Amino acid sequence: MNLPVIGTLPVVGTGDPVSPTAHYTGYVWTRNGLSPPEFQTLEGRLLFESLRPIMTVNSILGRGSLEQYLLARHRAIDLLLERAIEEQGVTQVLELAAGLSARGWRFTARYPELRYIEGDLPDMAARKRQSLRRVNGGSDRHQVVELDALRRSGPHSLGSVAGELEPGRGLVIITEGLLGYLPTAQVQGIWQRCAATLANFTRGLYLSDVHLSSLQTVEVRAFRVLLSAFVRGRVHLHFRDPGEVVDALTAAGFARAEVRPAFAIAGMPAQTGTRLAYVLEGVA
């Protein structure tokens, strides 16, 4: 793969506190009907169009595309969240580092009893509030707050934000698109804090995507190189296979866990891009 071509993309991160991935994914969600137009940005569209020729070539060569991968994980998590609400009666969601996803907006519109809190770093949180105001002015049931997923305790930590919720209504915690950019020790710390937090609720479920090293075919390696170049950083592979992820989640304090291919959950074709995405469920 020709990495210098990637290097000629518009550098959205320069002077922009919102990461390139947030802009890009925000545009992908809108393009595929998962977000209203108010959630997309000009930066996201420029990034998407800049990458389109490379993605087209990758798809022809069987290497997959970012769009396939993103849609598989997003739709899979959507379906698992639906089941938690409709089958388990959970009525509270806390999503960490949601970026420009409209999941909270979509789900609070669909489920009137649902309270949805998105926690993000200050600049991203401010950008998200602007998007919500353009859609419908926001909602008391859908809030965007400042939250640092790496903070162990104190203000703006996971425990502090979750402490404002009602234990009897259950809680789903989501970390989509976050773990792959963190070292293993930080991922384990997040999992420990999620398990400890969810243990305080009558029903507790954790949902996330996860990268597995056992999937490293030639095509997938090429895809990871593209993904790493796009985010301008390393995409970490913390675990080899689903069994290792389950062991790590139970060691972090979850009562049980499951890891499955996102495309299988979402009912999508098994393509290179979709096969790379795995989604985990951790039950407190």
For 103-116, write each residue's pLDDT tens digit.
999 999 999 999 99
37, 20, 84: which is closest to 76 by C-alpha?
84
Pick the CATH number of 69-218+236-283 from 2.30.30.100, 3.40.50.1110, 3.50.50.60, 3.40.50.150: 3.40.50.150
Instruction: Give the β-pairing of 142-146 and 204-210.
Output: unpaired
The per-residue pLDDT for 269 is 83
> DSSP strand E in the chain: where?
92-96, 115-120, 142-146, 171-175, 204-210, 256-261, 278-283
Residue type, position 211, single letter: H
Dump pLDDT digits (tens) for 18-38: 577 888 889 999 999 999 999
257, 83, 94: which is closest to 166 by C-alpha?
94
What are the two backbone dihedrals, phi and then psi, of residue 192, each rounded to the nearest 5 degrees?
Answer: -65, -40
pTM reported for the whole predicted model: 0.87
What are the two backbone dihedrals, phi and then psi, of residue 145, each rounded to the nearest 5 degrees?
Answer: -125, 165
Which of 70-84, 176-190, 222-236 comes out lowest in average pLDDT? 222-236
